[in-house]
Amino acid sequence: MKKWQCVVCGLIYDEAEGWPEDGIEPGTKWEDVPEDWVCPDCGVGKEDFEMIEIG
């Protein structure tokens, strides 16, 4: 499980947690997150997220 961070606002998508509010189940890998999913905080798209080291 990896984490991805929005380069604009710092929001973290954690594959282990998914994003249930947008219907993305816990355990959903980043590549399986829909291409049109956008950062819930600032609205940028998946291409503006970068992988970060697991803490």
Partner 1 sequence: MSEQAPIVIVGTGLSGYSLVREFRKQDKDTPVVMVTADDGVSYSKPMLSTGFTKGKDADGLAQASTDAMEEQFGVQLRTFTTVTGIDPEAHELIIGDERLKYSKLVLAWGADVIRLTIAGDGQEHVFSINDLMDYRAFREALADGQKVAIMGAGLIGCEFANDLRNGDYEVDVIAPSEVVMPGLLPEPAANAVQQELENLGVRFHLGTVVDRIDRHNGGVRLTLANGESLEADVVLSAVGLHPRTGLAESAGVDVGKGIKVNRALETSAPDIYALGDCAEVDGHVLLYVLPLMACARALAKTLTGERTEVSYGTMPVMIKTPCCPTAVCPPPSGADGQWEVETEGTSVRALFRNSAGEVLGFAVTGRFAVEKQALSKEVPPIHN
Q: Site residues (CB under 8 A) for partner 1? A: 7-10, 21-22, 36, 38, 41-45, 47-48
Angle at 46 between CA 19 and CA 8, to 5 degrees: 95
Q: Annotated binding residue at 42? A: yes
Nearer to partner 1, 11 or 17 (CB): 11
Nearer to partner 1, 1 or 6 (CB): 6
Pick the closest to residue 46 from 29, 9, 36, 54 (CA basis). Answer: 36
Q: Which residues are annotated as a binding site for Fe cation?
A: 6, 9, 39, 42
